[in-house]
Amino acid sequence: MGNSEVERDEPLTPAGRLFLRPEMNQIIHCIIGCKNPIDAAAVISEITNSVMIQHPRFSSLMVRNSRGREHWRKTQIDVDRHVIVVEDPVAGAGAADEEAVNDYVADLAVSSPLSPDKPLWEVHLLRAHNCIVFRIHHALGDGISLMSMLLECCRRADEPDLRPTISSVGTSSNSSSNRIIQRRKLWKVVVGMLMGLVFIVEFVLRSLWVKDRKTAVSGGAGVELWPRKLATAKFWLDDMKMVKEAVADATINDVLFGVISCGLSRYLDLRSPKALRDGVQITGVAMVNLRKQPGLQELSDMMKGNSGIRWGNKFGMLLLPVYYHQGGADPLQYVKRAKQMIDLKKQSLEAHFSYNIGYLAMSCFGPKVASWLNYRIVCNTTFTISNVIGPKEEIAIVGNPAITMHMLSYAGRADMQILVAKDIVPDPQVLAKCFEDALHQMKEAATQE
């Protein structure tokens, strides 16, 4: 290896190294359903001339040196190797497009790793279903980074010369005076320090032996390698906003976790062979963006080396407990409990502690120990969740309007993709329906407030 090659190589970040571990090998899938038939040649041409090809992560191989350390090495891109065109239907005759595509992506999630002999991304064109599937390794960046990249490559369907816009849906409904804000800041510092200590203890205990009680949605050893099924729960953001307005100072995220708590309770009522004790805790792991500016940013800003919002993996995790409650409870109580819990989590600086603990473990002990810690936390909890804000307007890809975008909010809708081990949750469509019914029930309760 010549000196010029060594100079071109760039070390992976600690988070990037973590996501390449076999236990943590993560690929992000984004599904886009198009209105019209897909022109494969036009898509390939668009990708060839896009900013994505010029991006240093999307145009680099992941290589290891003689000591096993991972580096990015610039390479020439052969777009034809990255675009997989599937002409025939991916399911049997009569299968609905959404179900067929969901099954296709669920199979990809466990059976088709990205080849290391090319940059770690692919685009699958499912022409029989008018659908595009983006597959991007998590080592290239987190959801915020990748969504910023995607929107840079798209245009608004109603204004082809304009890029899509983003608006935050997580803000609370009420404002406070400056004096109250100052008091809250002081209180947050005190509570943050105390709750930070609590989190460190909880993090260690979860890594070692504390685990959720066994329920009908609990996994087992090696569950990350089991065959998967994928289903979609569909919500309208206006419905979520109506519920948010009915709970003082609530946010869309509060409503989302209220829906998860209520929906899981509904599903466990259906699936549990014997009644669970009311109030049983089911713990989730949520990913939180830690950039200085919330939401999505301009791609040019993210590529600046000295930017506080720069490209990469910049997120922490929260341990979020939800609780099983038998039917008959006021559905808005789920939102109120979620808000109370999330407010404490925000004050605790828990996400920042988790990020720094992971960074310290990676730096001092290497990816093997860091991945073991993360893997143990995932094993001892019940579910993981992440959410990304998407475009307000309908978008077009190569002039083809997108009618659906899964795994994020889009044009007034919010689709929740539910990926499960099919031996544990054989009917994820039923679970999705439980989440949808939970929001409908909350909306009805909100109209009566």
* Catalytic residue set: 138
Full strand arrangement of the beta sheet holding 10-11: 10-11, 70-74, 60-64
Dist. CA 229–CA 297, nearest whole Å:
32
3-state secondary structure (DSSP) of residue 267: helix
List, in sequence order, every beta strand (DSSP E) within 54-170. Answer: 60-64, 70-74, 83-86, 121-126, 131-137, 155-156
Burial of 243 (0-12, 13-18, 19+ CB in 10 A): buried
Dist. CA 58–CA 69, nearest whole Å:
19
CB 63 within 8 A of CB 73: yes
Q: What type of residue is 145?
A: S
Which residue in 44, 253, 74 sits closest to 169, CA to CA? 253
Dist. CA 286–CA 341, nearest whole Å:
13
List, in sequence order, every beta strand (DSSP E) within 315-442. Answer: 315-323, 383-385, 395-397, 400-405, 409-410, 413-421
Dist. CA 407–CA 133, nearest whole Å:
12
